[in-house]
Amino acid sequence: MAQPTSTFSSYDAVGNREDLSDIIFDISPTETPVLTAIPKSKATGTKHEWQTDSLAAASGSNAVIEGDDATTDASTATTRVFNYCQISDKVPRITGTQEVVDKAGRRSEMAFQLEKRMKEIKRDVETSLLQNVASAAGTDTSARTSGGLQSWVVTNQNIASDATAATGDGTDAHTDGTARALTEAMYEEVLAAAWTSGGSPSLGVCNAFQKRKVAAFSGNATSFEKREDRKIYNTVDIYLDPLGNEIRMVPDRFCPTDVVYFIDPEYLKFATCRDFRTWDLAKTGDSERKQILVEYTLEVCNEAAHGIITDLTAS
C-alpha cells in the first residue's frame, strides 16, 4: 500500500525530539582481584625498602657431647631489598559549557569522568602489579617504575628450559622462552616447591585461557550436570594439591596471558607513598581539570612465599 497524498509523517517533521536513553552502557571490566586481596602498607620514601630472612637448613646431625663446651653458631645478616614507588595518574578536563548543558545519562560531566578515571587507574595499577617489568629509580626525564611480581618470584617457579629467570629482587625482568601448554604436573611442582620453602599460597591468579586449562585437569575430568537447574558444571574454583595446599583460583583479566601466579597474601603488600586522591588543578581558562593520583609500589615481603608458572601458550 502507498501512503495517502499529503500525509505528514515523521520523515517530514523537523521538530521531533531525539530519543536518547538516560542509561550509558559500559561493560568494561573493573575487578582487580590482587589489589583487592593484598593488604596495604605505608611507604615513606620513593625507594621503599624492607628485609627478608631465613633459617639455617635443618640438620639431622645436631648432636653434642655431654658436658662439652658450647660452640657458637655463625649468624647471618638479613637481606635488604627494595622497590621504587611508581606514580600513576588520570586527568579529565571539561569545558565550562559541557558542565552546564543538559546531558543524557549524567548530571555532571566532571563527576562522570572522575568515576571513569578512578576505575581506569585501578585497572592500570592491577596491570602494573602483575606485569613482567623491572623496577627503575627514574630521573628528571624518565618515570620511576615499580618492579612487577614476575620480576620477583624465582624460588618456586616453573619456566621454559630456554627462558632466563629474573634475579628475584625486582631489578630485572624475566626473559621468555619457548611457550608450553599448562599441565597439572607444573601446578603440583610449583606448589610443592612453595610448601618446601615454607610458603602457604592460597590465591591462584591467571587469565581466562589458563583458567580454562585448569578446568581440564584430571581431578576435574568429569563435568557433571545438575538436572534440576539445567546446568553443566566445568570449573575449578578451589585446587587442593597432594600436600594440602588449598588454592582459590581467581581469573584476572589484567594478568599476563602466559603466567599463573600462586600468591600468599600475607607476604605481598600494596605500599602507598600517596594513596588514591583527587584534587583540582589550576584553572587557566574556560575549562576545569582535576587530577587523580596514586604513588605506590609492590612490597614482595618474601618472594619465596609465592610461586609462578611462566612461558605458557596463550591460545
Q: Is the pLDDT confidence value at 243 over 90?
A: no
What's the rounded mean pLDDT across residues 8-13?
Answer: 80
Nearest Cα to 294, choosing from 305, 278, 282? 278
**Who wins on pLDDT, 6 or 296?**
296
- Lowest mean pLDDT: which of 62-71, 209-218, 234-243, 300-309? 234-243
Cell numbers of 304, please?
619465596
What pLDDT sits at residue 13? 81
Helix, strand and coil percent figures for the chain, each rounded to 5: 20, 25, 50
- Chain centroid to CA 195: 23
pLDDT classification of 228: cutoffs 50, 70, 90: low
Model-wide pTM > 0.85? yes
Nearest-5° Cα angle at 186, 184 to 188 = 70
pLDDT classification of 42: cutoffs 50, 70, 90: very high
What pLDDT sits at residue 198? 93
pLDDT classification of 231: cutoffs 50, 70, 90: low
As a whole-number percent, the residues of the chain with pLDDT over 70 amount to 94
Distance CA 248, CA 202 (A): 6
Q: Where are the domains of the chain?
A: 33-51+79-309
What would the pLDDT profile of 122-171 be if each residue is shown by its tens digit?
Answer: 999 999 999 999 999 999 999 999 999 999 999 999 999 999 999 999 99
What pLDDT sits at residue 284? 94
**Element spanning 210, H or E:** helix 208-215
C-alpha distance across the termini of the chain, in Å: 55
The torsion angle over the Cα atoms of residues 169, 170, 172 and 176, rounded to 10 degrees, is 100
What pLDDT sits at residue 16? 81
What pLDDT sits at residue 2? 85
Please tell me the total number of residues recorded for the chain in this structure. Answer: 315
What pLDDT sits at residue 230? 57
What pLDDT sits at residue 220? 53
Cell numbers of 70, please?
658450647
Q: Looking at this protein, which amino acid is placed at residue 10?
A: S
What would the pLDDT profile of 61-89 be if each residue is shown by its tens digit?
Answer: 999 999 999 999 999 999 999 999 999 99
Mean pLDDT, the chain, whole residue set: 91
Q: Is the pLDDT confidence value at 292 over 70?
A: yes
What would the pLDDT profile of 302-314 be if each residue is shown by its tens digit?
Answer: 999 999 999 999 9
What pLDDT sits at residue 278? 95
